Copies of this chain bind each other. A is one copy, B any other.
Amino acid sequence: MQSNQKIALIGLGKMGSAIAEKLLEAGLALVVFNRTQNKTEPLQKMGAQVADSIQSAVSDADIVFTSVIDDEALLSVSKEILAHAKKGAIHVSTSTILPNTAKELEAMHEDAGCIYIASPVLGIPKAVRAKKATTFCSGNQTAIKKIIPLLETYSAMVENMGGSISHANVFKVCMNYSLITAIELISELYVFAEKSGVDKAYIQGALKYMYSHPAVHVYIDKIYQRDFDQVNFDMKGGNKDVHLFQKAFLDAGVSPDLASVFESKVTEALANQMENKDWSAVSDVIRRRSGLE
């Protein structure tokens, strides 16, 4: 890997911290910044330089990674980055955002003489740490070729989806949309089986035979055991995601019917003190609606 590249990473939530660890493990020089400082300590011990502002983090960087919660946060952080970044700097955005926001960000970066790359991650922080994530990227192809070795420090597979900036985000929406559909299906079938007196282990076995993807198998077991305090992805995150899917579909002129089914349960979960449970606890909403417990 090019050791003379200067890399910054902004946003040290669970996902941002995991990506930072992998870049450091690969022996890369990394400057990190987070609004709340305490998240930087473990990374500092691993050799990261800690910046006290976005300006000082990015002013010298060739490549800037960001990992933030939503479209609004990314637009705001991007404005600060572009005010201080070097000409030609590459911004690698790992967040799950709307396809249309990616288009807006690409234009903003071009105006400032920088390059925006969409690079959302499929996988939870644990998968990133195990180098088992999948990364989809789209945008400027010369820049993508430069950053692929960096993405490969945490991804088992990097899928280059070409020059249209929004395509990686469209694909990420499709993957997460599939996951909420699976969670809803698994939950409904277990409850239907339980109410019908059928051992739900039959359903568990059949679902595993139907799905091959390990992420779906995690939920087939998690919902079976009703293990919602071990959080893969929390209900607040689920709420953000489901509204993002709906907006993305509506922007494309497609009715997000399966997402709306899931949304109704997330809303009820949030209204009933379940905001810190795993998002698959929608299953308990379906149970309660069906008269169980």
**Number of identical monomers bound together in the oligomeric complex:** 2
Quick check: is A207 within 8 A (CB to CB) of the other chain? yes
Closest to A171 in B: B202
| Contact residues on A (Cβ < 8 Å of other chain), bracket | 35 or more
Digit string of A191-202 for contact with B (CB within 8 Å is 1, else 0)? 111011110001
Digit string of A243-263 for contact with B (CB within 8 Å is 1, else 0)? 000001100111111100100
Quick check: is A177 within 8 A (CB to CB) of the other chain? yes
Instruction: Tell me the bound Cα distance from A213 to B205 in angstroms.
Output: 12
Interface residues of A (CB under 8 A from B): 99, 159, 161, 164, 166-167, 170-171, 173-175, 177-178, 181, 184-185, 188-189, 191-193, 195-198, 202-203, 206-207, 209-213, 216, 248-249, 252-258, 261, 264, 286, 289-291
User: What DSSP secondary structure best describes chain A's contact surface?
Assistant: helix
| Contacting residue for A290 out of B196, B202, B254, B289, CB 8 A | B254
Chain B residues within 8 Å of A264, by CB: 257
Given the interface pairs A181-B185, A185-B258, A258-B184, the reply to whether A291 lies near B253 with Cβ below 8 Å is yes
On whether the beta carbons of B211 and A252 are closer than 8 Å, the reply is no
| Contacting residue for A189 out of B174, B184, B289, CB 8 A | B174
Chain B residues within 8 Å of A161, by CB: 198, 202
Instruction: Tell me the bound Cα distance from A151 to B261 in angstroms.
Output: 38
Chain B residues within 8 Å of A206, by CB: 171, 174-175, 178
Chain B residues within 8 Å of A178, by CB: 185, 189, 206-207, 210
CB distance from A157 to the nearest CB of B (A): 10
On whether the beta carbons of B211 and A249 are closer than 8 Å, the reply is no
On whether the beta carbons of B189 and A177 are closer than 8 Å, the reply is yes
A-B contacts, 18 of them at CB < 8 A, read A164-B198, A167-B196, A167-B198, A171-B198, A174-B193, A177-B192, A178-B189, A178-B207, A181-B185, A184-B257, A188-B254, A192-B252, A209-B212, A209-B213, A210-B211, A211-B213, A255-B289, A257-B261
CB distance from A103 to the nearest CB of B (A): 11
Chain B residues within 8 Å of A188, by CB: 177, 249, 254, 256-258
Chain B residues within 8 Å of A291, by CB: 253
Instruction: Tell me the bound Cα distance from A167 to B213 in angstroms.
Output: 28
Given the interface pairs A189-B177, A290-B254, the reply to whether A198 lies near B210 with Cβ below 8 Å is no
Instruction: Tell me the bound Cα distance from A201 to B209 in angstroms.
Output: 24
